[in-house]
Amino acid sequence: MRNKIIAGVAVGAIAAVGVALPAHAISDTNADLYVLHAVPGLTVDVYVNGDLTLDDFEPSDLAGPLDLPAGTYTVAITAADAADDSSPAIGPIDLTLEANMSYTAVAHLDAAGDPTASLFTNDLSTIPAGEGKLTVRHTAAAPAVDVLANGAAAFTNLSNPDEVKANLPVGTISAAVALTGTTDPAIGPADVTIAEGVNTIVYAWGSAADDNLTLAVQTIDGLHSVPGGVDAGTAGLAADSNNGLLIGGLGALAALIALAGFAATRITAARAAK
Amino acid sequence: MAARILALAAMALLLAGCASPQAPSIAPEPAPAPLPTAAIDVPRQSSEVVPVQPAAAPIRIQIPAVAVDIQISPVGIEPDGFMQIPENITIAGWYRYGSSPGSATGSTVITAHVDDFIQGLGPFATLASLSAGAEIIITTDDGVDHRYLLESVQSIQKAQVPLDQVFDRDGAPRVVLLTCGGQFDENVRQYSDNVVAIANPL
């Protein structure tokens, strides 16, 4: 071990010995649940296992995340200010949630225009550096669509209630939705930001018949990866002399051992707090 | 005395009873059952599509103690997955996918080559000689000067550099300056270590 502290006391900030949980880990026991309201013109109450969980939930509202122990939950969606969940407008539906997963339950219209609910699993896989993920979900009362990015078809023939996804370079895309086989936008175009390490989830929702098709966006961040390293020199002009190495060695060794112990304590404490 | 008062009171009650043969009921309706209220407060947000405003980018770094005052360019990733670094050793690279000085959380990572055969030693060769408490000023392209104090400088073998901590995006805001150091392997033309300087907002 010949790492050394040149200046200052590194307060466990960058410890040479370190273990970190993946940035996107949720919990070994719990799941994250988001709820999106994508039924036009209907304010609702959302019940989970008989308990009112979202009061006066408005169209296009996104709630969450709810931190729920893994298990099966019964969700019922009623008219706003119902006395209880005995006569739901949508559901009840059973949602099975697994630990360390992220879900979005969407109240939306099916292709024929009837209210329904779908459970989507949000992709939390690590995204390569410099890229973001675009997920598109069809939750609208409309036939199959093509998704256009910057005017060209990026995804084709997407049907309610399916999703498509891809990693894209970071930037802003002009996104539009057209009925499959056409290029005349039924929704958009709208500027959608593809941010690094973020799963940007775009929902097409509303009703083609009622002429209120629109987009909703949900983002889940923290999915980035880190560079493989930093090579910042090619000539050897700044290399340590052997002398410097000896002088730096002993004191730094003691400091590093203390540092490693401190870092381990911090990690234990952080895990216990989870 | 007490008996007379009671008798008077009884008479008054009787009279009152006679005066209003049929008292109208003003009894209230039974209270409606209260509407249920949400058991927990779940955060809500709009799902409307709004363009994300990019954060202000750092463009200049000054370290007065070692007379460093150089430009910063935004950089990304090399095809091999390593961080890009400007070829010109007098320009530092800011990892543009990570945090910036205006970010609420995370490390602003700034790197420069320590040396080059033709260009010689670079300004970041001075990182290894900095003392704790040295002031670092980073200017962003919105004209704001962000001031930091050096916490530590460490020389860490490259294989042991905790890259997820260097490129952290969730912890307290800070600046991490990186270059190369340690021993130089003439065969692969690479340094053994990264010199890692950490500074906290003043």
Q: Which residue of A has its CA nearest to B150?
A: A8
Least confident of A252-261, B66-75, B142-151, B168-177: A252-261
Contact criterion met (CB < 8 Å) for B121 and A63: no
Q: What are phi and psi of B4, to 5 degrees?
A: -65, -40
Burial class (CB in 10 A: 0-12, 13-18, 19+), A237: middle
Q: Which of A4, A8, A230 sits opposite B83 (nearest CB)?
A: A230
Contact criterion met (CB < 8 Å) for B162 and A18: yes
**A180 three-class SS:** coil
Instruction: Tell me how far apart the alpha carbons of residues A67 and A27 are, in angstroms, rounded to a whole number.
Output: 9
Task: Using an 8 Å CB-CB cutoff, list chain B residues near A65.
Answer: 43
Those residues whose C-beta lies under 8 Å from the C-beta of residue B28, and which sit 6 or more positions away, are none
Contact criterion met (CB < 8 Å) for B47 and A203: yes
Task: Using an 8 Å CB-CB cutoff, list chain A residues near B55.
Answer: none
The reported pLDDT for the residue numbered B54 is 82
Burial class (CB in 10 A: 0-12, 13-18, 19+), A143: middle
Residue of B46, B49, B80, B153 to mutate when probing chain A, most A C-beta within 10 A? B49
- Quickly state the pLDDT bin for B2 (edges 50, 70, 90): low
Look up the ipTM and state it: 0.77
Those residues whose C-beta lies under 8 Å from the C-beta of residue A209, and which sit 6 or more positions away, are A113, A141
Q: Which of A4, A64, A227 sits opposite B77 (nearest CB)?
A: A227
Average pLDDT over residues B149-164: 94
Look over chain B and give the mean of its residue pLDDT values, rounded to a whole number.
89
Domains defined along chain B, listed by start? 2-48+56-201 (2.40.260.10)
Q: What is the DSSP letter of B30?
A: P
Contact criterion met (CB < 8 Å) for A62 and B51: no
Measured over all CA atoms, what is the biggest interatomic distance in chain A, rounded to whole angstroms?
A: 81
Q: What are phi and psi of B127, to 5 degrees?
A: -55, -40
What are the sequence ranges of the domains in chain A?
A: 3-263
Q: Which residue of A has its CA nearest to B97?
A: A196
The reported pLDDT for the residue numbered A257 is 47
A107 bridge partner residues: A37, A117
Quick one: residue A252, left, alpha or beta (phi over 0 = left, psi -120 to 50 = alpha)?
A: alpha
Instruction: Tell me how far apart the alpha carbons of residues A268 and A118 are, in angstroms, rounded to a whole number.
Output: 39
Q: Is the peptide bond prior to B123 cis by the omega test (within 30 degrees of 0)?
A: no
Average pLDDT over residues A83-109: 95
Contact criterion met (CB < 8 Å) for B115 and A235: yes
Give residue A160's identity as a one-letter amino acid code: N
Task: Using an 8 Å CB-CB cutoff, list chain A residues near B92.
Answer: none
Q: Is the peptide bond prior to A189 cis by the omega test (within 30 degrees of 0)?
A: yes
pLDDT score of B17 more than 70: no
Tally of CB atoms within 10 A around B80:
9
